[in-house]
Chain A
Amino acid sequence: MLIVLVAVSGIFSSCDKGFKDLNTSVDFVSNPTLDFLLPYVQLTMVDKNYYTQTYYAAAYASQINTNVSFPSITAYKSTEMSEHWVWIYRNPLKNIVDLIERCEDDPSRINYLSIGRILKVYLFHSLTDSYGDIPYFEAIKGYSGGITTPKYDPQQKIYEDMFKELTEAIAAFTPSKTNPGSADIVYNGDIAKWKKFANSLMLRLALRIVKVDPANAKKYAEQAIAGGLLASNSDNFVVNYTTQISGTGTTSNGTAHTWISSSYITTYRFAQPFVDSLKLRNDPRTSVYCMRVKLPLSSYQEGNHDPAVQRGRDQFAQTVPRDSASVANIRTFGRYAAPFIHLSYAQVQFQLAELAVRGIVTGDAKAYYENGVKAAMSQLSIFGNDGWNPGGVITTAQQDAYLAANPYDPADALKQINTQYWIETFPNYYEAWANMRRSGYPDTYSALDRTLSSNLGAELPRRLYYPRDEYASNPGNINDAVSRQGQDLTSTRVWWDKP
């Protein structure tokens, strides 16, 4: 009897001995290395799948044809349309917010903290520009704050906070403290460049709200300029990718997937307005961007780069046979190792040009414009290092000839500037589309043949649908957002998007 009691209580006394070790996973670590986390975030700032960015944003921006009619492209297609949302929240944002939270109370990590805050603003602005009101203040607090149903915030509040974050982050940089060095795969820990990037991002955001909140647009544009903007292409925020294998891997450029995967054969082609705008101006970038596919279409292979044969496919009607339309150049953008430019000196120059035209800042709009065009052509040299001659290099002579043939026209300045911005931002589809909505240029929809049913109701879409999952998992908050912002349709305008 005693033996039994001893045996039983023996089990009892060691009832949870060793449980802590047992319930600690041996496959993972519980403390991250910030220098490994940061490059992961930088590499994942671009969607690693092509669904939302190509199927919707690129098609809306008239840069790429996706082989469907306008009614189809604005119909509910939830899984594809939510990929951008899901990607940004669950990958780069989640990890950068974690980095921020790990640096907040550590003064020695102040530079990491500022970098984190700037990247967070960058990621959020692309989300809110695409969807409108989104979870912001309560977002990414699933673990740290236990918030499983984050509230949707009005876009205006999000913009206010993004300006505040950028201002504070720039001010907080302390050169004497540790910087990430080579773990920062964009700027190699160069704090001066980070400041320029943050100010240039502020400039982008300022111009975005120019119609809805001109006072703040002016205020932040001036602040950004005073703080110092990207001053040359060597300041560009460029993420270099490294691999040709495994399409969706972290180290490969997600935008290339559009061209390389099976879609090469039957889906994606450059859209007519985009190729036309290059060819119309005899643009030396035509052959850097485009190539004609080589027939028969049985494999992914080098095509014809001759600018003369490049052709875009009409956006929705598809009267142009696919086989005679251009795809991305396999040596530049059509490869997984293609770099991705998130923000460039050229963009900054175009924005300054527009601000000057609008009289918000003083300056020579023509000079800004020309600087922008030249920089947009020069920057392509980073794409052409894949054994293709002449690579992406566009000579100064070619740049000057282009400007000579297409001189700055003050009477048509906004159209000119924003059309150049549109060409320059390929394949940053979200940015190209957002700027089209804000500026109204280029107008690629008015000229569509309305007698064709595939063009039925074709107007520039103003936003993306929210993910269907939100109606299931966060119903109260999404319904609040919809009642505040307007119906969850692609025709509903976001806050800054005024007619």
Chain B
Amino acid sequence: MRLAITSLKMLVILFTTLWTFSSSAQSRSITISGVVTDAAGAPLSGVNVNVKGTSTSTSTDVKGAYSIAASNQRPTLVFTFVGMAPQELVAHNSQLNVQMVVAGKEMEGVVVTALNIKKNPRSLGYSVAQLDGSRVNTVQTPNLVNALSGKIAGVDVGNIANGVAGSKRVVIRGATSLTGDNNPLWVIDGVPINSSSLGGLANNTPEGGYDYGDGLTGVNPDDIESISVLKGNAAAALYGSRASNGVILVTTKSGRSAGGKTSVDFSSSLMLDQLYDLSNFQNVYGQSSINQLNGRELPTSADNAKGSDSWGHIMDGTPAPQFDGVVRPFSPVKNIYKDFFRTGSTITNTVSLYGSNANHDYRISVSDLRNKDIVPNSNYARTSVNTKTHSKFGKMDVDLVINYTFDKANNRPYIGGNHDNSLYSLLYLPNTIGLETLKPGYDSLGRELLYTQGVSNPFYVINKEKEADSKNRLMASATLKYEISNWLYVRGRITRDYYLSKRLQYIPDGNASSSFPYNSPSNIGGIFNQRAVESSSNEYEVLVGINPGLKGKFGVNGFVGGNISSRASSQLIESGNTFIVPDVYTFNNLKTKLPSTSESRRRTNSVFGSLELSYNKFLYLTLTGRNDWFSTLPLDNNNLFYPAASLSFVFSDAFNLPAAISFAKFRASTAQVSGDTDPYQLDLSYSLDAFTYNNTLPLQLIGTSNIPNKKLKPLLSTDYEMGLEMDFLQNRIGFEASYYSRQIKDDIVRTGVSSATGYSTAVLNVGKMENSGLELLVRGTPVKTKNFSWDITATFTKNNNKVVALGDGVMGVPIVLATSKSGNAFVRLTEGERYGGIYGFSYTIDSATGQKIYDSRGFPLVNSTAKYLGNSTYDKMFGFSNTFNYKNLSLYLFVDAKFGADIYSETNATAYKNGKHMATLFGREEGFIAEGLNQAGEKNTVMVMPDNLSSYYNQIGNISEQFIYDASFVKLREVALRYRFTNRILDKIGFANASVSLVARNLLTIYKDKNLENVDPESNIAANNQQGIERMGYPATRNYGLTIKFTIK
């Protein structure tokens, strides 16, 4: 509180100083005249000329000439013309000639920074990465996030194996929170959106679930003009606590480029998704038979042919009964993955209408996306309408953004180690069972057709089980900016991100895993779950700014403001089980109805301010401060003030450097950001069981499995950053380099705890974590001739993420981030170690000889003390893009590479256990004696007989060490070949602009660990911190397609 008062005082003093400073300007009237021309020197008529901060305006005549009176000695004149970049110039005398340039070129000179304030990049003392819209919409992806991978130094994009409409992971400069959300804040046209995962895998359990995607699946890449990434605290601090993971600012296209006319853009793309079948399982031995003396005998009856494993007889084609009673040759079935999955497709069409005149511009776009998943019966569709307008009414600027999105998914693929996951079912499917025999997945009574217990029939899942969800989302903002005088303005803004989502899921009666009692004559069973989810995120913001312009060589600008950010979500859940009337899957038709509700509300109130001082346009100092009050923290410990400072020095302007250096800038910054946590974590709460005893006695229990904490306080992240930006040889080659270091303390951590505490997790203020790293971006044009050019952009990132401490003064307890379904591998944070260590059980090794030790059965002995086996986060990332232009043809190649992470593969561990892994072929006929020692230290002589092979490989299946792989990769991520139609052709067909592109994604894995079989290195399934564990995720796909774009004026 005291800090807040101090900060406010500081801002008041600041303001008063500025007031005095700027009002010292004197007033005397002068007249300024001149000629406005275009880049080629031709006069421009109709250019609007305005004396900044006044209503005095005029426009140029047919010769481009103007004349205007100003009361100020050195007035700033603002020149605007449709299609041209507006210019603000100070008239030093009565003559001012102006050359206008086409909008877009000059736009590169403006960077959108925090709170949507546009700044000259020269002034920035911190790293802001800009990405042009064409970099994300040339090769279409349904989720914008995928398109960012590798393109910005310091930004790690996880290509999560959870399907097209699933949520994605982005981490900027390494994890900032030990266990919290590490995804950045996304701000779209000034609207901070709820980009968190919308459920399903958000609290990823090993059993998995549906991934309902994140807030970004609704953004249409075609609408994007540019993306700014604010990486460090200094850049993001003004956004407050939500910015502690960095900020990604998305600016959508506006109508400004229409150049006074009305234009229509069309964009159409088709992408095909094809399974990239990585499976390489043994195809020699078939299904284990059960209920027989020996599982390796051929089944003799249908009931014998119901094993779930593949430890059976050699597949020699001998006729044998199968689970359905039909006798078929005991022979291998091939290509089950290719036959099960289909070719997916995504069709995106966008039409946008835009136009402008001197004071108004608008853009309306309508977009439609239809996706057919590679999982049969699964699809996703999105329709969006985006409107953006800007109007100027005298001193008032009005900006309105309204984006409406409707999206709809059917039968999203089930992700994770659960039998509802098709990949889980297929991983178990013995080689002798053909997919055709499992179709359609149910019998004439609608009961699930099973070949074994505990593994679903994948056709039942896709044909009978149902998932459907839809979401109506509105993101809107209204910004009013009023120029009180030529140096003072006030800006008010309201933004809202709102959605209402409906989700339905049911599993019919007759389903093997949820019908109790199993397939009973009364045919009861079935599960139903329907919910309505409402979420809103509102911001109310007022700021007062000054921008008095230059005073000699000195410049100053700044603002103070306040913000209220409130977020709320509620759910109405109608769930239950047992359908009464067959084949009617509604809530009303349930025998047991279990409705419930949940509600969550939080608010952050803030005051903030910023001041920029500059000297001679080459030295800039920016100071900011912010104080937040969090509703989620205890009242006596709920606020914190945090400052930031940054310096930019364009030394190529300050000194006389060799001519080869076209631009050189040094920057440095330091900043703090605070943060809070989720609501309702302070006290214990009690809930009622869904059932009452004897229909009378209510049953109550502690409703939380998380240990609450009354003593939470805000976390604090502190960083500093230094950077150098240089361009050489008239910008033919240039680089940007940054070094950063960030430390977080008092992090609010949710950690898995011993069940003996009575809970599964605890929320604690512990720990200290450090990130430091290097980022490098190199751009260049190695070849540039009249008809041919070659542009390259390369990014490199090295991040060191270290867990410094997990306790206050005492050695902290390791924090568990993720556990494999088997429990054999887990991702843990340990003091003094790199973030995200994968731990698990290893072989027991004789320390003297290094040999494995075997038990009395001849099985490898498991070392039950969990050992560090690898790390789950990438620490080195490369991106390398090449664009070749030849006349109207351009070829774009983008290579994405990451190194330094490992992955535990549950697919391979399971394949060892069920006998499908290639390695399990060893010893099937003869048995073997494993090479190593026995527990007495002598040579192991125990023979593992073929009958015991399954137990032997099961044992290995529990040795996590065996299934750790290097997850490094080099991939040819994107390829695009574009033809731009020549003006000659365009004139004939009446288009202003047209191009056609052949595009591809994930075409080729250039490098990966050669030992990593059956799965892709990028097979993490969770968008949160549970990285490093592969769990039968969505399969890798290759994507090919075609994009057509054209403009009609």
Contacts and interface: CB of A to CB of B under 8 A. Distances in A.
Contacts of A319: 293
B789 interface: no
A147 B813 CA distance: 11
Interface stretch (A167-175, A227-235, A263-271, A380-388): A263-271
A27 B598 contact: yes
B524 A245 contact: yes
B686 A30 contact: yes
A265 B605 CA distance: 60
B577 interface: yes
Given A90-B759, A323-B291, A469-B823, A8 B607 contact: yes
Instruction: Pick the most buried of B520, B578, B602: most chain A CB atoms within 10 A of its CB.
Output: B520
B464 to A, nearest CB: 16
B605 A97 contact: no
Given A183-B697, A246-B516, A299-B520, A32 B686 contact: yes
B864 A36 contact: no
Instruction: Pick the most buried of B447, B516, B521: most chain A CB atoms within 10 A of its CB.
Output: B516
Interface string B692-717: 11100111111111011000000000
Interface stretch (A17-25, A104-112, A439-447): A17-25
A29 B708 contact: no
Contacts of A473: 751-754, 813-814, 816
A19 B955 CA distance: 54
Interface in A117-140: 134-135, 138-140
A472 B206 CA distance: 15
B607 A19 contact: no
A467 interface: yes
A466 to B, nearest CB: 9
A406 interface: no
A78 B562 CA distance: 53
A300 B519 contact: yes
Contact of A260 (B518, B631, B751): B518
A148 B632 CA distance: 22
Interface string A353-390: 00000000000000000000000000000000000000
B822 interface: yes
Contact of A22 (B521, B602, B700): B602
Interface in B154-173: none
Contact of A78 (B755, B823, B954): B823
Given A43-B693, A457-B857, A472-B819, A19 B686 contact: no
Contact of B306 (A11, A78, A266, A317): A266
A398 interface: no
A7 B542 contact: yes
A395 interface: no
Interface stretch (A66-74, A277-285, A421-429): A66-74
Contacts of A471: 864-866
B822 A250 contact: no
A8 B560 contact: yes
Contacts of B816: 469, 472-473
B291 A8 contact: no
Contacts of A474: 753-754, 756, 813
A89 B602 contact: no
B757 A11 contact: no
Interface string A56-75: 00000000000101011001
A91 B756 CA distance: 11
Interface in B1001-1042: none
B945 A453 contact: yes
A176 interface: no
Contact of A262 (B1, B512, B578): B512
A149 B754 contact: yes
Contacts of A243: 691
B824 A139 contact: no
A72 B951 contact: yes
Interface residues of A, number: 111
Given A94-B702, A247-B516, A75 B954 contact: yes
A317 B293 CA distance: 7
B265 to A, nearest CB: 41
Interface string A1-35: 10011011101101110011011111111111100
Contact of A4 (B490, B605, B680): B490
A85 B755 contact: yes
Contacts of A33: 698, 700
B533 to A, nearest CB: 14
B764 A90 contact: no
A488 B819 CA distance: 20
Contact of B762 (A19, A142, A321, A479): A142
Interface string A242-267: 11011101110000000011111111
A399 B691 CA distance: 39
Contact of B708 (A143, A185, A262): A143
Contacts of B630: 19
Contacts of A242: 693-694
Interface in B727-763: 751-760, 762
Contacts of A249: 690-691
B513 interface: yes
Interface string A137-176: 0111111000111100000000000000000000000000
B813 A19 contact: no
A148 B707 contact: yes
B587 to A, nearest CB: 16
Contacts of A1: 15, 19, 544
Contacts of B291: 318, 321-323
B679 to A, nearest CB: 5
B78 interface: no
A30 B686 CA distance: 6
Instruction: Pick the most buried of A39, A72, A336, A477: most chain B CB atoms within 10 A of its CB.
Output: A39
A78 to B, nearest CB: 4
Contacts of A95: 701-702
Nearest to B944: A453
Instruction: Pick the most buried of B291, B447, B561, B947: most chain A CB atoms within 10 A of its CB.
Output: B291
A4 B823 contact: no
Given A23-B631, A27-B597, A250-B689, A261 B518 contact: yes
A28 B591 CA distance: 26
B863 to A, nearest CB: 11
Contacts of A25: 599, 679-680, 685
Given A5-B12, A12-B607, A148-B762, A23 B518 contact: no
Given A89-B755, A139-B756, A245 B591 contact: yes
A498 B46 CA distance: 103
B583 interface: no
Contacts of A71: 857, 859, 948, 951
Nearest to A453: B947
A383 to B, nearest CB: 17
B454 interface: yes
Interface in B514-555: 515-521, 524, 542, 544
B686 A29 contact: yes
A323 B302 CA distance: 12
B588 interface: no
A39 B814 contact: no
Contacts of A91: 701
A138 B29 CA distance: 83
23 contacts: A4-B544, A9-B8, A11-B605, A14-B605, A15-B639, A16-B605, A22-B601, A32-B700, A36-B688, A43-B693, A90-B755, A94-B759, A139-B758, A142-B759, A142-B762, A245-B577, A247-B516, A299-B520, A468-B819, A472-B814, A472-B839, A473-B751, A487-B864
The 10 A-B residue pairs with the shortest CB-CB distance, nearest first, are A142-B757, A94-B758, A28-B685, A36-B700, A300-B517, A135-B756, A78-B823, A468-B823, A299-B519, A11-B562
Given A19-B635, A71-B857, 17 more contacts: A8-B607, A12-B4, A19-B630, A32-B702, A36-B700, A76-B824, A90-B759, A91-B701, A94-B702, A95-B702, A260-B518, A264-B517, A299-B518, A300-B518, A322-B303, A454-B947, A469-B816
